[in-house]
Amino acid sequence: MQVNSIKFFVDTADVAAIRELNDLGMVDGVTTNPSLILKSGRNILEVTREICDIVSGPVSAEVVATDAKEMIAEGMKLAKIAKNIAIKVPLTWAGLTACKAFASEGHMVNVTLCFSAAQAILAAKAGATFISPFIGRLDDNNFDGTDLIEDIRIVYDNYDTRTQILAASIRSVNHIVDCAKIGADVVTAPPAVIKAMANHILTDKGLEVFLADWAKTGQKIL
């Protein structure tokens, strides 16, 4: 029986890292952005298509135009890559206009660069599938990023809003745990942060003791 849990999207365009986590059942989707495409060193259409072949969940591919009409044209091209594409648009008025157009056509939309509950309300009104509040960047500017997640959760729950809260700009394991406590629907994090969730100094110390004691028995299992 499957237990409900917070969904993990992996924030990378590194195909090998995505495949490793996907094989372990740790990936419910993928988010990319222009910076991650640059880091991959690959063509956006090519690498996004490969990611969509690996992952069955939503794969966010971001438009780079700033004009609504051009955003819509870019987004429609990205949507043709695969059925699980979520078109990613910035939280600007042009982005909201594009979001409405994509949602009206039945496409998933991830509205990114959200830094206020007011912006999140607009994204939901425009039909966003996901709203991406940036926790780490708020923390960098002396705000508590998780406070924004909580504010959006309260507002969305007041109206049974279908837009999912996708906590982004995750920098640490604590960010993920805090988002899970608050009730974020999804967190998107770099592969290294997701893998770091398994680490604990007491686990390492306990394993060291067990292995030392086992060696003293002189036994083997295989």
pLDDT of 5 reads 87
- Summarize pLDDT for 176-207 with one digit per residue, the tens: 999 999 999 999 999 999 999 999 999 999 99
DSSP 61-108: EE---SSHHHHHHHHHHHHTS-TTEEEEEESSHHHHHHHHHHHHTT-E
Residue 219 lies in a domain: no
For the chain, give the mean pLDDT.
97
Residue 210 lies in a domain: no
Residue 93 lies in a domain: yes
> For the chain, how many structural domains are there in total?
1
Residue 101 lies in a domain: yes
Domain containing 90 equals 7-197
- The b-or-e profile of 3-33 (16+ CB within 10 A means b, else e) is eeebbbbbbbbbbebbeebbeeeebbbbbbb
- Summarize pLDDT for 2-42 with one digit per residue, the tens: 457 899 999 999 999 999 999 999 999 999 999 999 999 99
Query: Which tokens sit at 86?
Result: 């979520």
Residue 145 lies in a domain: yes
In the chain, the amino acid numbered 28 is D
* CATH code for the domain of 120: 3.20.20.70
Is 88 among the residues known to form the active site?
yes
In angstroms, the CA 13 to CA 196 distance is 19
pLDDT of 18 reads 98
- 126 has a pLDDT exceeding 80: yes
Residue 95 lies in a domain: yes
Q: Any bridge partners for residue 97, and if so which?
A: none
Q: What is the mean pLDDT of residues 133-148?
A: 97
Phi, psi of 151 (to 5 degrees): -60, -45
pLDDT of 4 reads 78
- Summarize pLDDT for 41-89 with one digit per residue, the tens: 999 999 999 999 999 999 999 999 999 999 999 999 999 999 999 999 9
Residue 170 lies in a domain: yes
Out of 77, 88, 181, 205, the active site residue is 88
Which pTM does this prediction carry? 0.95
Residue 130 lies in a domain: yes
pLDDT of 3 reads 52
CA dihedral 123, 125, 129, 134 (to 10 degrees): 20
